[in-house]
Amino acid sequence: MTKIFNNPSEFAEEALAGFCDVHSGLVRQVPGGAVRRHRPASPKVAVLAGGGSGHYPAFAGLIGTGLADGAVVGNIFTSPSAQQAYAVAKSADSGAGVVFTYGNYAGDVMNFGMASERLAAEGIQVENVLVTDDIASAPPSESDKRRGIAGDFTVFKIMGAAAEAGADLADVVRLGRKANSLTRTIGSAFHGCTFPGADTPLFTLQDKQMGLGLGIHGEPGLFDTDLPSAKELGQEFVSRLLAETPPGAGDRLAVILNGLGSTKHEELFVLWLTVAPLLRDAGYTLVMPEVGELVTSLDMSGVSLTITWLDEELEPLWTAPAETPAYRRGTAVVQSGDASGQETSDAGTADVPFEADADSRTYAVQCVAALEAVRRSLHAAESRLGDLDAVAGDGDHGRGMVRGIDAAATAGAAAGTRGAGAGSVLIAAGDAWADKAGGTSGVLWGAGLRALGESLGNQRIPGAEELAAGMSAFAARITDLGKAGPGDKTMVDALLPFTEAFTRLVQEGAEPRQAWASAAHDAVAAAEATAALRPLKGRARPLAEKSLGTPDPGATSLAMIFTVMGPFLADSGQSGSSQSPITSNQTARALS
């Protein structure tokens, strides 16, 4: 259990600040993460690793010569926002382009992708390299769906060394993707990790049991088995990895035996005594193996084994010098000079005036009240949503939704105070939600609220048909961005029934509040029905069997939010900020 903290919600932020202070000679904190303290002597490709906090030394601990130029750092087990990724890239860019590299998780893919689009629009060369090394998360025929775990380090190291040697952006990307295609990892857990402030771990195992096939976000293994001896565990790992030997692979390996947070080095050394002989007996030469902690999972008790098949192109990059706060190899030349790049900030936007008519400002008051009502409901539901997510995910959905709505409600209220219309209030709320929540749900809710705000605009109180069009825009933005469809066991399974019902009822002439309430009822029922579905998207997908019988947390939270928002957004003009017909039974049913 993580015991040293102040406010659990500020743990990641404070940890990053402390890290940057300790290592101020090598790194510098910037909005969204950290970058190297000094700029390169000449333009070079900026390799930017990224992901959620809780994995130290990944990701910030790997900033330095021969490895990363910067790290985009999200909250615990939560992908960074697009704004964070953009800000770090702007700070690290030295004129030769940037490449984001990260594990293959939906939230990371969406947020880094959106940041890349923004950078490209400004003329900055930008690429993305995804890591997909976890053999337990999808079969070989679907390797593009695999998640990234400890193989992150191998890919980061090879890309960082290539960039340090002067390779151009295209070559750094090519080498990173090549390294990823030749990297395989298998892991196991003996005990789950625990968030700061939480009383229980994200998952538990029976005594003398082991979970095989874990992720690095507290996801439980694919299946549990009796705790093996070190020799049996080593044999299990090696046999599974060698069964996936890439065609034409060579006989020289980069090997990482990685502790996941609370597994002691002595235990790893004992396991190494089985792993190394098995690999050598299979005809392999082990090139500068690493045994220790490189990609962790808070205080999880567990271990993973990663192997990368090297060739004459990759081996020199694997063995090249590196100098970072958490990892050193050989003697690397550390740059000295001016501080890195340019920082980005949203400072000053608070004074930009809004243009809106009086009616839209009146409706904006109802939007602010809706956000505040959602804030109260999500705070009350945080633990329940986290429990739903922990069944087959990482257990952070409730916490992430609370972070998002806190930021959204604050930003929406601030915009309203400055005279914003309804559209601008919702856009401000959406942008704040996406930036502060991170993760898949953060970017989707942020994008959805922005789409709703853009549709409603800042002129007049929307009529029923305009509100229906706005909710259709909300749904379209989320489905376009998330690529999920009905039956995938995501928030879309509650979103589409709501949107379809609300639009149909409005077209039939129903009063807006009645139409919304009926559609919200359909959303709650649809969310409950996801218990019978197997997840086809997101982090729960590899653990589909464990998810059966439990409703999707994203669909559940969406149904609850729509239930709460209706009396405010569907009000045709009367202020509903103080009189809401929401009942405790409605909210409870949305969470049942």
Within a 13 Å sphere around the CA of 356, how many CA atoms are in the beta-carbon half? Answer: 29
Q: What is the pLDDT of residue 406?
A: 98
Phi, psi of 538 (to 5 degrees): 80, -175
Nearest to 402 by CA among 7, 4, 3, 83: 7
Residue with tokens 């101020």: 24
**pLDDT tens digits, 205-238:** 888 999 999 788 866 667 899 999 999 999 999 9
Burial of 121 (0-12, 13-18, 19+ CB in 10 A): exposed
Nearest to 347 by CA among 21, 31, 20, 14: 31
Say if CB 101 and CB 116 are below 8 A apart.
no
Please report the pLDDT score of residue 342 as a whole number. Answer: 63
Q: Are 69 and 334 spatial neighbours (Cβ–Cβ below 8 Å)?
A: no
Spatial CA neighbour of 563 closest among 301, 293, 396, 374: 374
pTM: 0.86
Tell me how far the alpha carbon of residue 182 is from its chain's centroid.
Answer: 24
CATH of 8-319, one of 3.30.1370.60, 3.20.20.210, 3.40.50.10440, 3.10.20.440: 3.40.50.10440
Q: What is the 3-state secondary structure (H, E, C) of 490-516?
A: CCHHHHHHHHHHHHHHHHCCCCHHHHH
In whole angstroms, what is the distance from residue 322 CA to residue 199 CA? Answer: 39
The pLDDT, as a whole number, for residue 204 is 83
Give me the long-range contacts of 327-331 (CB less than 8 A, separation at least 24).
327/57, 327/61, 327/62, 327/64, 327/67, 327/294, 329/66, 329/288
Point out the residues of the chain with pLDDT beneath 70.
Answer: 1, 218-221, 333-353, 538-544, 572-592
3-state class (DSSP) for residue 173: helix
Look at residue 214 in the predicted model and tell me its pLDDT.
78
pLDDT of amino acid 584: 37
Q: Is 108 within 8 Å of 92 (Cβ atoms)? A: no
Q: Could you tell me where the DSSP H helices lie in 185-313?
A: 230-242, 265-281
Residue 215 in contact with residue 304, Cβ under 8 Å? no
Strands 33-36 and 27-30 turn out to be: antiparallel
Can you give the pLDDT at residue 585?
A: 45
- CB-CB contact of 74 with 53 (8 Å): yes
Orientation angle between helical segments 106-121 and 82-92, nearest 10 degrees: 50
DSSP label at residue 420: -
Distance CA 469, CA 464 (A): 9
In this structure, CATH architecture of domain 353-591? Alpha Horseshoe (1.25)
Tokens for 366? 């109802």
Question: What CA–CA distance (Å, rounded) separates 420 from 453?
Answer: 11
* Cis, bond preceding 156 (omega within 30 deg of 0): no
pLDDT of residue 200: 85
Provide the residue ranges of all domains of the chain, joining segments of one domain with +. 8-319, 353-591
Residues 6+ apart with CB under 8 A from 22: 325
Q: Are 26 and 282 in contact (CB under 8 A)?
A: no
List residues with catalytic annotation: 217
